[in-house]
């Protein structure tokens, strides 16, 4: 193995682990957000009428399930599963939409997760694994 290919392999590994950790982080945040919704936390208050108003408990369970799914995909991505790249991009895009709909309940938290989703999509889509 040449020094150049060794360095390239380290960059590929670091990029893939970075992408996986971003997806895993978003999954954990979604899970925590769901628990707060199911617990009907006092931090959630909607003073205005929004077009997208949902039951907080149902929305919380959605975030819990979605968070677990993102964590599984993040772990599969870290393990090198090729299917996880497509799944991570699709789930992060759905997460952006879900957190856009969650904006009335907790705007700052939703915007942080949306930003992490965008970063995860970028990291996964620009990662070029070595060809077998």
| CA 91 and chain centroid, separation | 7
- Read off the pTM: 0.78
CB 89 within 8 A of CB 97: no
5 or 15, which is more confident? 15
Distance from C-alpha of 85 to C-alpha of 76, rounded to nearest angstrom? 9
Distance from C-alpha of 58 to C-alpha of 28, rounded to nearest angstrom? 18
CB 33 within 8 A of CB 106: yes
Q: Give pLDDT tens digits for 23-67.
A: 899 899 889 888 888 887 665 555 566 665 667 788 889 889 999
Q: What's the DSSP call for residue 129?
A: P
């Amino acid at each position: 193995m040449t020094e150049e290919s060794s360095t390239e392999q380290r960059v590929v590994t670091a990029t893939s682990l970075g992408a996986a950790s971003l997806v895993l982080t978003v999954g954990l945040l979604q899970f925590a957000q769901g628990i707060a919704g199911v617990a009907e936390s006092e931090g959630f208050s909607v003073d205005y009428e929004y077009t997208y108003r949902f039951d907080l408990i149902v929305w919380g369970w959605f975030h819990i399930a979605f968070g677990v799914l993102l964590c599984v995909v993040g772990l599969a991505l870290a393990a090198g599963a090729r299917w996880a790249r497509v799944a991570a991009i699709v789930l992060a895009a759905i997460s952006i939409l879900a957190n856009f709909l969650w904006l009335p309940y907790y705007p700052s938290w939703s915007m942080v997760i949306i930003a992490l989703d965008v970063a995860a999509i970028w990291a996964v889509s620009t990662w070029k694994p070595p060809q077998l």
